[in-house]
Amino acid sequence: MTYKERFCAWLNRSALAEDATLSTFTGSTCRCMASRDTNNPSFSAQWHRDNPSATACNGLGLYSTTEATTPLSFVITEPISMISGNIPINKEWLSQIGEIQKTDRFVWGTVNRTSGAFVDLSGKSEYHDYITYDSNKYLIRDVTDLPGDAGQVAHLVRRES
């Protein structure tokens, strides 16, 4: 059994694991996204004002969307609980993230609550995919693999609305 499989099995039975829902959106990419920097596309309200007859993407950068939800379990920490003794060890990683807000969260390991399978967050879009936890929506940013291929840690940023 790999470390990742052991971690997922532990998450399924641990009292420390929290429940959440991952919402993933697929659809056709709006031209407001394609018209900008292809390395870092983002929604352009100005493009929609300049092209009022274009299909509205409602700020997602996608239209004709389909939503898929996945029930998750993970260990979640607030930034303050991470500070204790870990910052000197994770200094390089934290410098890549940038400023961390009090409302941000970190998730350690993600497992599908139904199937028990590992859920990879690295391919999720911070523009339209999100995690709902404790009635709040969080954007998924800065996903990093844990040592020994045991899973991932992800930085979640609270979404306004």
Model pLDDT for residues 56-100, shown as the tens digit of each residue: 887 777 777 788 999 999 999 887 555 455 444 455 555 566 677
CB atoms within 10 A of CB 77: 14
Token representation of residue 119: 């859920």
The confidence score (pLDDT) of residue 98 equals 66
Token representation of residue 27: 């659809």
Task: Give me the residues paired with residue 161 across strands.
Answer: none
Statement: residue 106 has pLDDT above 80: yes
The confidence score (pLDDT) of residue 87 equals 45
Q: Model's pTM, two decimal places?
A: 0.73
- Decide if 49 contacts 24 (C-beta within 8 A): no
pLDDT band at 41 (very low <50, low <70, confident <90, very high): low
d(CA 127, CA 41): 9
Give residue-wise pLDDT tens across range 125-141: 877 789 999 999 999 98
pLDDT band at 102 (very low <50, low <70, confident <90, very high): confident
